[in-house]
Structure 1
Amino acid sequence: MFMVYWTEGGLSEGDAPAFSRCFPSDDMSGALRFMEELRTRQRGGEAISFITMSSENPQSVGHPGVADPSADYDWKKRRR
Structure 2
Amino acid sequence: MSGDRHEATIATTHDDAGTVAAALAPDNTDAMTTTVDGDTVRTAIVREDAGGLAASVDDYVVNLTVADAVCETARDTTQP
Q: TM-score, normalised by structure 1?
A: 0.35
Q: TM-score, normalised by structure 2?
A: 0.35
Give 1 or 2 for the bigger CA radius of gyration: 1
* Bigger helix share: 2
